[in-house]
Structure 1
Amino acid sequence: MTRIDLSDRLLRTLTPWRTAAVWRIAFSGGLDSTVLLHLLARLAKTETLPPLSALHVHHGLQAAADTWPEHCRTFCDALGLPLQVIRVQVRPGASLEGAARDARYAAFDAAIGRNEALLTGQHRDDQAETLLFRLLRGAGVRGLSAMPAHRPLGRGSLVRPLLEVGRGELEAYARAHQLAWIEDPSNQDLQFSRNYLRHQVMPLLAARWPQATASLVRSAAHAREAQGLLDELAQLDLDDARTPDAFDWLGVPSLALAPLAGLSAARQRNALSHWLTPLTRLPDADHWSGWSDLCEAAVDAAPVWRLADGELHRSAGRLWWLSGQWLRTPAAGEAWQDPSRPLRLADNGRVMLLGQTPAGPLRIGYRQGGETMRLPGRGGRDLKRLLNERGVPAFVRGRLPLLFRGEELLAVADLPGLDGSAQDGWRLHWQPSDEDQGLR
């Protein structure tokens, strides 16, 4: 494959990202990223491309790596490209490979700005290895799709423009242009699973089936197509469950349970996985018993499925995803010294009085049990019964701000008919959270 052919293919692949604000290249100094960076630098001389810059993540896992940033800087200087070196701490864990990857992508995530693209050098052989590795781990259809050619990353996009290019083509290009690259000694260490596949398994497969790499990549493409169909099915099922709710103002992701409960078990898992994937890491297929327990709990129960990054609650006929502040018990109530100004609550957003300020002294508290509230024309009513009448989800009952004057309960935030006095012209408004309940 000639340089012109490879350049043209790269340019065609990157066409959708020609309008990006910046192209940042993940530059390890290895063969793949060296060729990618060199190709782009040459293309930039004849094509109108976004500004180019390189990112080198220094993991500090081995002594040899201390010289790599300087190698990368020298290479970038020769091309006239800026280089940013990011040093990361790799958390010890069961998988050093996985921990290093997590640290690397966390650094990329933080470095990528709005409408920027991060280009990485993974190639066709990497794709085949990824499929085989995930197959051996028992991955489902999504995992067997291997690496996507592009996906969102931080405020921008991650793009892998070399997935259709074999390692042999990259080596030929590097030799033709006399490029020097880093050979990571750890890439020869067979204790790492990917290295074992690359050096021991893939050569055996290729010796018996010369088209093994291409066939594995084609299988990954089939899996991606199948996953696309599953995603479309999930969207259809989720559309039925995304019904409006009286408590949407809480800002908590939720779904109606009944439409999901009517689906087969496989479609339930598919829809729920699609919904939860942006919110949390999911268990493997053998550890979904928490979902079954949640669905099968008694009608009057308030079951919880605890996941890696939060909890799924069932209450008031809906599923609610809680994370961050919603999992922390709000501190005890406090006196409201200046009711004319919003009051920030510890771990519970803030409250404010809209309209006329009732006479004080006032304080904010939370339900402890046994509270009663006097309503016009109804006399004193038990707060628990009032919350039941309005279908307040169980998880929010203990953190709904209550306005007291002395021991008298004056208002329950944001519940129509309980949130203030229409006669006196005021009501209690609660902004539940300053945190983002969205993407992890």
Structure 2
Amino acid sequence: MAPPYKNTPALQDLIDDALAQTAPGRCVWVALSGGMDSSLLLSLAADACRRVPRPLFALHVHHGLQSANDDFERHCRWLCSRLGVPLIVEHVCVDNGRGEGVEAAARRARYDAFAQHIGCGETLWLAQHQNDQAETFLLAALRGSGVAGLASMPRRRTFFGITIERPLLGVALTQLEEEAHKQRLVWVNDPTNSELQFDRNYVRHRVLNALEARWPHAQAALARSAGLVGEAAGLLDELADHDLMQLGGQPQQLTVSELLQLSEPRRRLLIRRCLTHLGLALPPARRLATLDAQLQGRTDGQAHVSWPGGEARLWRGKLFLMAPPLALAGDWQVEWCGQKVLPTPLGNLRRGLVADSGQAVSLQVCARRGGEVLHLAERGRRGLKRLLQEHGLSPWQRKQLLVVWHDNAVVAVGLVDGEWLLVAQGWYQPSSVSGR
């Protein structure tokens, strides 16, 4: 069997091509772990940016998970000093409280660091290669992933305005090792790479080695399959985006009756695509099946499906997709002057509230407790519950309401974002508020 990645271009050509795709004057960043592949990528990038001047930075994420992390940081500092590349070191805390596993939690911490330091419109280069792609494909297949998972790592994508590129994705590890030795490059080996309790290490050392003993080009073939699945995934994304536009173009809110006109696989595809547009985690297959069953049943405010990082609710014939909504604690309360930005557990309240008299007042802001009444101009006294029903506020939004009191009377009600929903007679919202 001929190798799928025959006649791979020279490594420096790949880097030059990637650099040519970046906008002139924009910064290029290299995620530098200190291992062989990222050290080589930085060396190649530094050479390219000397020949075609571009601002180049390296970013090292110190996970603090093992003593060897300090060795990696020292090596990164030495290498960047030798290459003349500015280095940013970010120490992170890997939080595995979500039960996602250490590897996934560390990856999330890295991407949080990327978003913190790399500006919108800038480019980040990652050093994953063909062997990494083959491992990712196999792991996705063993998890029973669909097309999106089997597509593995894209060569190029955007992440919160950052362009993430993998210039070496089509290059075999052996070719990278040859080039690293040719350059007499120095790097640090991660001692955990040999620990087989990690799924990726087991696939790398036990599974892929066995496959290549029988099929010498197994890793290249698997990586090529991942690339072909990636093309199919791109076409499915186009189909889902077309359906989204037909249903109104709002990924956070879909009309159930229109959604049910699609076939079941097409509904699932559209819901996953909407979640991706919203930057939310995708649900496991069973949770998505539960959601689809509820689409064909209840449509009241109590019907909902949740999973780590996301939630779907059915209410008044609409499907709402969102992050798990926060709610104010029933005993939360704070004093406020009405004319400054007010920090709350749900975010900063940036609109004010002033008495018609113009006098300075002391207000109390708290969560909704039930039974509140407002005195509205031209309507008199009205119960808050009935007023909220008139405004069409969803059940989960009602748990996020800020209720403002003055002298034992409710004078305003609203959410953190937007205008006040209700303002009592004798009060108004000013055009602006000052800082804290």
TM-score, structure 2 normalization = 0.80
Specify the alignment match of 2:12 in structure 1.
7
The whole-number CA distance in structure 1 between the counterparts of 2:136 and 2:368 is 52
Aligned equivalent of 1:258: 257
Identity %: 37
1:258–1:172 CA distance, 2 compared to 1 (3 A): same
Superposed CA RMSD: 3.8
* C-alpha displacement of 1:67: 2.6
- Specify whether residues 357 and 232 from structure 1 end up closer, same or farther in structure 2 by C-alpha distance, changes over 3 A only: farther
User: Cα distance 1:365–1:10, how it changes in 2: closer, same or farther (>3 A)?
Assistant: closer
- Equivalent position SS for 2:231: helix
Q: Separation in 1 of the partners of 2:131 and 2:180?
A: 17
CA distance in 2, matches of 1:20, 1:378: 60
| 2:36 counterpart of 1:31 | yes
Letter in 2 for 1:119: W
Residue by residue over 1:351-390, the C-alpha shift from the partner in whole angstroms, topping out at 9 and shown as x without a partner, is 5448945999987676555556677887766554444344
Q: How does 1:86-235 map to 2 (within 5 A)?
A: 86-91=90-95, 95-235=101-241
| Alignment correspondent of 2:3 | none
Q: Distance in 2 between matches of 1:176 and 1:343?
A: 59
Structure 1 pair 179/327, CA: closer, same or farther in 2 (3 Å)?
same
Structure 2: unaligned runs, 5 residues or longer: 1-5
Return the offset for 1:131.
0.6
| Rounded Cα–Cα distance in structure 1 between residues aligned with 2:63 and 2:18 | 30
1:144 is displaced (CA, Å) by 0.5
Change (3 A) 1:96 1:346: closer
Q: 1:20·1:115 contact (CA, 8 Å) conserved in 2?
A: no
Cα distance in 2 between the residues matched to 1:181 and 1:129? 22
Match of 2:393 in 1: 392
Q: Which residue of 2 aligns with 1:268?
A: 267
Shift of 1:150: 2.1
Question: CA contact under 8 A between 1:27 and 1:37: conserved in structure 2?
Answer: yes
Report if the CA contact (8 A) 2:327-2:399 is conserved. Answer: no
Deviation at 1:12, TM superposition (A): 1.2
Question: Quick one: structure 1 residues 364 and 187, their matched pair in 2 at CA, closer, same or farther if it must change by over 3 Å?
Answer: closer
Question: How big is the shift at 1:81?
Answer: 2.2
Q: Residues 356 and 322 from structure 1, CA distance in 2 versus in 1: closer, same or farther, beyond 3 angstroms?
A: farther
- Give the residue type in structure 2 aligned to 1:7: Q
Match of 1:157, SS state, is strand
CA distance in 2, matches of 1:217, 1:75: 30
Match for 1:266: what amino acid? Answer: P
Mapped pair 1:311 → 2:311: yes
Aligned residues: 418
- Give me the whole-angstrom Cα distance separating, in 1, the residues matched to 2:248 and 2:430: 25
* Contact 2:377–2:424 under 8 Å retained in 1: no
Q: 1:208 to 1:427 in 2, by over 3 A?
A: same
Secondary structure of the residue aligned to 2:53 is coil
Question: Contact 1:330–1:347 (CA<8 Å) still a contact in 2?
Answer: no
- 3-state DSSP class of the match of 2:203? helix
Instruction: Please name the residue that 2:47 is paired with.
Output: 42
Q: Which amino acid in 2 is paired with 1:304?
A: H
Written as runs of structure 1 = structure 2, the 5 A alignment for 1:231-250 is: 231-242=237-248
- Give the secondary-structure state (helix, strand or coil) at the position aligned to 1:14: helix
Q: Is the counterpart of residue 79 in structure 1 residue 79 in structure 2? A: no
**Residue 437 of structure 1 aligns with which residue?**
none
How far the C-alpha of 1:285 sits from its partner, in A, is 1.0
